[in-house]
Amino acid sequence: MMKKADIDEMLRTIEDETRYTRGMTGVPSLRPEVLAAMRQVPREEFVSNFYKTMAYDNTPLPIGNGQTISQPFIVALMTDLLRPDKDKVILEVGTGSGYQAAVLSLLVRQVYTLEIIPALAGVASARLKRLGYTNIEVSRGDGNSGWPEHAPFDGIIVTASAPHVPPVLKEQLKPGGRLVIPVGLTAMPQELLMLEKNDKGEIRTRHVLSVSFVPLTGNGGNDDTRKNNL
Ligand code: SAM
């Protein structure tokens, strides 16, 4: 059962972390609407019974298949960096539990989200339907190729660590759009990057914060042995 005190505490921790890291992230405070979305989405619904008592701790938790639901502070920060608003269409790479997609769905027009592990894609899709999120489309697929049928996107968020920024994702970003992605090899530290495309199509990259994510896999991902032979 969702407890107001637990959620209040999660929100306080997110605001504290935002303040502690502002020198690095350049984000002094999170948009009120992002905090409201974090308050509204029941994180306990996105973890198994075993982890429900920890659902509002500011920590990643296992979701099966060796994957995790991300730390709430990082979810909130990445959401804020996308500058969400009701006109935007966002691509997420790495559906996992569906939690990040649910948070975004309250702030934007449409979320398209790709998950490479079929079992996780199936569970997340059923969960999001059951919880009544109608503007999220989940598909099983390799996010290294983006989602050409729905491109270009106003924003792209990648929730697994890539060896480099997949070029296709840069192409699928609209002018004025932002791409938020952790980059680095599987070993720590990885860097959360924020790329911004201007109206001329030029891309500026900003380092945001050191982070720790599970690897982006698939074609060109951190487990692609061919990349070592190129
Ligand atoms: N956003 C998720 C949530 O809210 O629960 C957490 C994502 S978890 C940290 C990273 C996810 O990315 C895993 O579920 C993993 O299977 C997925 N993933 C890894 N490589 C991928 C790829 N190439 N395409 C799509 N999903 C990928």
pLDDT tens digits, residue range 137-154? 999 999 999 999 999 999
* H or E element at residue 4: helix 4-20
Q: How confident is the model at residue 224 (pLDDT cuts 50, 70, 90)?
A: low
Ligand 1 near 115 CB (within 6 A): yes
* Domains assigned to the chain: 4-211 (3.40.50.150)
Contacts of 95 (CB under 8 A, 6+ apart): 101, 113, 114, 115, 120, 121, 124, 138
**162 C-alpha to ligand 1 centroid (Å):** 11
The predicted structure's pLDDT at residue 3: 83
The closest alpha carbon to 173, from 208, 136, 147, 206, belongs to 147
Catalytic residue at 125?
Answer: no
Residue type, 191: E
**pTM of the shown model:** 0.96
- Please give the structure tokens belonging to residue 209: 């914060």
Three-state SS string across 8-37, please?
HHHHHHHHHHHHHCHHHHCCCCCCHHHHHH
The predicted structure's pLDDT at residue 221: 81
Nearest residue (CA) to ligand 1, atom 11: 94
Helix (H, G, I), strand (E, B) or coil at 5: helix
